[in-house]
Each structure stands twice: as structure tokens, then as C-alpha cells.
Copies of this chain bind each other. A is one copy, B any other.
Amino acid sequence: MVETIQWTDSGVVMIDQTRLPREQQFVTCRTYLEVADAIKTMVIRGAPAIGVAAAMGVALGVQEGADFDTVCKTLAATRPTAVNLFWAIKRMRDLWFSLQGAAREEIVQSMISEAQKIRIEDIAICQAIGRNGEPLVPDGKTVLTHCNAGALATAGYGTALGVIRAAVSAGKKIDVFADETRPFLQGARLTAWELQQDGIATTVITDNMAGHFLHSGRIGCVVVGADRIAANGDVANKIGTYSVAVLAKENGIPFYVAAPVSTFDLTLASGDSIPIEERSPDEVTHVFGVPVAPEAIAAANPAFDVTPARYVTAIICERGVARPPYEESLRKLAQAC
């Protein structure tokens, strides 16, 4: 498996997720502005991976000697929905303040170490999510997932795909249905590619087939990632997640969300106040540059939706499994450790 993101002496190296699976091309960001651009253009995407990228971006900015506030503000302005971005910037900012008075070289080295630590921690967190979620996956059935909450959405292993990987490692006989996840096709391009590399049987379906298969009896559970989870358990995730959750509930199939504690935003009472990014209509009207709709037609492109907590069977994080009522269970897990 290729590395999603790494700190190197020549800069932050990321696999270009806009080109997968057709090309495996790596991008080296040498400045914090290049990292900001990579996040904005989705060269790197996925809430935990964006967090790691932002942390490395802050470290690069400090190394460059750029104005610290400008660095943080620029990186924070890249994408609005995934809270891990703000979580990572805050963690880097807290360290930076604690280092005031130290020698410049020491500050730079500490910031770089912290960014690298966030990356390493993220892999361990995903593995813990996998361990915690694995028992929930029914043996002998198909797991449906939406978008990519895999190694490519994190520093490695994945959240939703971490649960799937752990279930396979535990010897469960499962296969995966991957929603293609228009418009950016993270499911068809990234999830299918990751799981194919791991030898996990995967079938790509268009997003509008998910309901049909949830109704068919072959799906044992749904597992997805998250970009932000409010105190009441409402989950912001890739557009289409809400639909899958409603269809799972309607058919009596458990719907699981797998995400690190850094995705919790307990400052928000509900998902109603989660900002939903609206991206360019071109992503809807074009596929790899090929127009799929008439010229000058309007298109909407909300990149995320909010799934009300009542559709969420459980939320799996590195510290355990939260069940309703989420006000209590999420707070308990957030305060643990």
C-alpha cells in the first residue's frame, strides 16, 4: 500500500488522489501554501488525512518563517466541513504558543516532530477503530460503504475500511459493495483501488443502487466515515451518506460510523450548525473533464450532508463504541483517556 502523506526533507509528499487509480503520481508540497492548495483541490482528502496535512502545513509554514497567524488562517480556510482540519491546526497552535521563548531551530524541530506524531498516532487510532468495530461486522455478508474512509482518507489503515480490514483479518468471510460516490468518485476510484490491493472482494455500484441492494437482503451492515460529529450524534459525511442511512434503517440494517475522537465537535449541539461545503458545479457536469450534461445547465454540488443521529446505530472510535443516547456516550468517550 502506498503512503497517503509523509514528511520528507524535500517537503510534504502526498499521493495525488485526483489521479488515482489511473496514475500513481506523488506531489511534493514545499510550502504551506502548496499544502493549502493540495487540500483545497482534493489532492489529499478525507477528514483525518486533511488533519495530518494541515499539521504538516503549519510545520512547513514555521520552517519557512511565514507569519504564524497567516499560516493557520490560510490552512483553516481551505475546507469548512471536516473538523479534524481545525483540530490539527489548534493542536499545532497550542504547541507553538507553549514554545514561545525557545530558539527558532528548536521551535521548528518541535513543530515538525508534532506533525509527524499526529501522522503516526492517526495510524494507531485507525487500527484501534478497526479492533473496536470488527465485532459489529456480521460474518458471511456484504458490507456497504460510501465514499472513501480508507487508508487514503487517513494516514493509513482507514476508519470505515479499517473496520473492514480488521473483520477480514479476524477471518470473517465478507465482501464489500462500494458506492462510486459521485461527483468525485472516491468510492469507485479510491475505495475500490485500496481494497483491490488488499485482495478484499469489492463490487463497485452507482450511488443509486445502494437502496436496491440494502433492500435485497445481501448487505449485513453499512460502515462509513465522518467529517464532523455533533454532540447529539448527528454526523456530517460525504454527500449521499444521509440517503444510505435512511435506506439502511428502512431495511433494518445497522448503520455504523467509524471516526476518531478528533472528528467529534461537541461544541455543536446538533448537525444543523455544521457548515456544508458547496463545491464547483463543474464537478457534477464533468467527469474527468468530459461533459456529461448540456452546456450552461445549472448544477448543485453540496459536498456533504448531515445524517440525523436517529439513523446511526453506533459510532465507533479509537476509545470504544458509542450508542444512543449520544449526548452521554460521545461525551464520555471524549473525556476518556
Q: Could you list which residues of chain A lie within 8 angstroms of chain B, going by C-beta atoms?
A: 21-22, 146, 177, 179-183, 185, 188-189, 192-193, 196, 201-213, 215, 239-240, 242-243, 246-247, 250, 284-285, 287-288, 290-300, 302, 305
Contact = CB atoms under 8 A, between A and B. Distances in A.
Given A205-B300, A298-B203, A188 B305 contact: no
B288 A209 contact: no
A179 to B, nearest CB: 7
Q: How many copies does the complex hold?
A: 2
Contact of A192 (B189, B215, B293): B293
Nearest to A212: B305
B247 A293 contact: no
Contact of A207 (B177, B207, B290): B207
> Closest 3 CB pairs between A and B?
A208-B240, A211-B243, A182-B206
B250 A284 contact: no
A182 B208 contact: yes
In this complex, the member of A181, A215, A297 whose beta carbon has the largest number of chain B beta carbons within 10 angstroms is A297
Given A189-B292, A207-B208, A290-B290, 8 more contacts: A177-B300, A188-B293, A203-B297, A203-B299, A204-B293, A206-B239, A211-B305, A287-B292
Contacts of A183: 206
B209 A292 contact: no
Contact of A188 (B181, B203, B207, B292): B292
A144 to B, nearest CB: 12
Given A192-B293, A243-B247, A284 B180 contact: yes
Nearest to A201: B298
Nearest to A20: B294
A242 to B, nearest CB: 5
A299 B239 CA distance: 21
A180 B180 contact: no
A67 to B, nearest CB: 38
A250 to B, nearest CB: 5
A287 B206 CA distance: 12
